[in-house]
Chain A
Amino acid sequence: MVHVTRGFTGRHPATDDRLPPGQYLTDDFPVLSAGPTPAIRRDEWTFSIRDGDQALRSWTWDEFTALPAEDITVDIHCVTRWSRLDTAWRGVAIDDLLADVDTAAEYVLARSYGGYTTNLPLEDLLDGKAWIAYEHDGDDLPAEHGGPARLLVPHLYLWKSAKWIKSLDLVDDDDPGFWESLGYHDYGDPWREQRYQGD
């Protein structure tokens, strides 16, 4: 049912067929985080792939940034309704990080410095769909945007692209992460407007 609001005409801002429903384009890069921005020193930073309590692979900052990296240009979509097109990143494909890992796990719990978590199907991180990114627009990734490094899963709402990434835990069950346990959607597909549980 169309429910017209008296007096509202709208500005019909610039749109694009790459803009998912309910989103608007912005040139800003707003910051949304649940708490203070963690200060993480690169000489103390590690990133690991874990299976239960066991680290299957682990990298220091120097080891990680020596891995083959890709330049990535993607659109990003925040559940708070802003989208940015053609954002530039540099990072390592999850495919490469998991290349030698043999697992039957179907899900991943991404864990961050500062305690943030988010849950994703493993297949959504594979086949060139996700990265650990440490540069944005040619510069080091700023702390408020997730630096030293963040997960980048651009085909899902941006809360899935965990800032300050610390590990990817391979898990059997799709247990909810931080926002997911507070009412946000478990999967978060912007094209199906999966903002909240039940959408």
Chain B
Amino acid sequence: MRRWQSATVTGSRAETATAHTLSLRVDEWNGHLPGQHVDVRLTAPDGYQAVRSYSLAAPADDGVIEITVQRLPGGEVSEFLTDIAMIGDELEVRGPLGNWFVWDQEDPSPVLLVAGGSGVVPLMSMIRARHQADIQTPFHLIHSVRTPQDRIYGDELTRLAAQAGGPSVTWLYTRTAPPSETRPPGRLRQNDLDDGSSWTSGATPTCFICGPTGFVEDAANHLLAAGHHADRIRTERFGGR
């Protein structure tokens, strides 16, 4: 279906102490749906290859795609991409991949996005696509992070949320909250997801949950308990390296 293509690193920036965004120029890229991912392949001089999947972080910009990589301890691909890769380097990509965890821009249903840690990446792709296309579909993002410093895309999300018609954004802190925060730090709780009714104007939201397995299990169960239907909840879990 999709062949491997050479991709050139054209941009590299730190999002947090452990998350890094890479811009990649790909010769033939016909766009992708918000929520899709790519496979990234690295090749060592002795021919050894390693492949991992990364969510696309934004709509393509004239053949340039973006991924945001969370550095994992001992992660041979993530450590290369966050610490070693430089502008001008070449690697290989295959994609776009995944047709399930995607937001349909034509669907007027409100969208509830629930992210744990770097699970925000494919959800940010949806938020950026909505912004670029100037779509008014109600969006609400709930992002669970350890500390305020772990807010990937924090400035951009704050800016978008402040705009008329922008998404509403809530951060939940598991370890350390900013002084202004009234919610005590802790893992996702049922009532963290209960207060969503005011932004949906009565329509049934589509829910996208992305994060580590335990987080996604908890979030999905909380949403079911809050009355959301299983067939309106799409999940993407990451485990392994």
Contact, CB under 8 Å: A31 / B237: yes
Most chain B Cβ neighbours within 10 Å, of A30, A35, A114, A197 = A35
Q: Does A73 contact B (CB under 8 A)?
A: no
Contact, CB under 8 Å: B241 / A5: no
Question: Nearest chain A CB to B9's CB is how many angstroms away?
Answer: 10
Q: A115 with B213: in contact, given A3-B90, A5-B42 (CB under 8 Å)? A: no
- Docked pose: A77 CA to B21 CA in angstroms: 30
For A144, the chain B residues whose CB sits under 8 A away are: 213, 217
- Docked pose: A199 CA to B97 CA in angstroms: 13
Contacting A34 at CB < 8 Å: which of B48, B50, B234? Answer: B234
Q: Does A87 contact B (CB under 8 A)?
A: no
Contacting B97 at CB < 8 Å: which of A22, A81, A115, A196? Answer: A196
For B224, the chain A residues whose CB sits under 8 A away are: 36
Minimum CB distance partner of B53 in chain A? A80
Q: Does B89 contact A (CB under 8 A)?
A: yes
For B240, the chain A residues whose CB sits under 8 A away are: 26, 28, 30, 80-82
Question: Nearest chain A CB to B238's CB is how many angstroms away?
Answer: 8
Contact, CB under 8 Å: A2 / B99: no
* Size band of the interface chain B makes with A: 35 or more
Question: Nearest chain A CB to B171's CB is how many angstroms away?
Answer: 23
Q: Does A45 contact B (CB under 8 A)?
A: no
Contact, CB under 8 Å: B235 / A33: yes
Q: Does A68 contact B (CB under 8 A)?
A: no
Contact, CB under 8 Å: B220 / A35: yes
User: How many of A's residues come within 8 Å of B, CB to CB?
Assistant: 39
For B221, the chain A residues whose CB sits under 8 A away are: 36-37
Q: A8 with B213: in contact, given A30-B239, A196-B2 (CB under 8 Å)? A: no
Q: Does B84 contact A (CB under 8 A)?
A: yes
Q: A5 with B89: in contact, given A35-B220, A36-B221, A198-B1 (CB under 8 Å)? A: yes
For A182, the chain B residues whose CB sits under 8 A away are: 98-100
Q: Which 9 A-B pairs have the closest CB atoms?
A: A30-B239, A36-B220, A198-B1, A10-B44, A182-B99, A11-B76, A10-B48, A5-B42, A8-B42
Could you pull out 12 A-B pairs where Cβ atoms are within 8 angstroms? A5-B44, A8-B50, A9-B44, A34-B100, A35-B235, A36-B220, A81-B53, A182-B98, A182-B99, A182-B100, A183-B97, A196-B1
Known A26-B241, A30-B240, A33-B235; 13 more pairs at CB < 8 Å: A2-B47, A5-B80, A6-B90, A8-B44, A8-B50, A8-B91, A30-B237, A32-B237, A35-B235, A80-B53, A82-B241, A182-B100, A183-B1
Q: Show the binding face of B for A, using Cβ within 8 Å.
A: 1-2, 6, 42-45, 47-53, 74, 76, 80, 84-86, 89-92, 97-101, 213, 217, 220-221, 223-224, 230-231, 233-235, 237-241
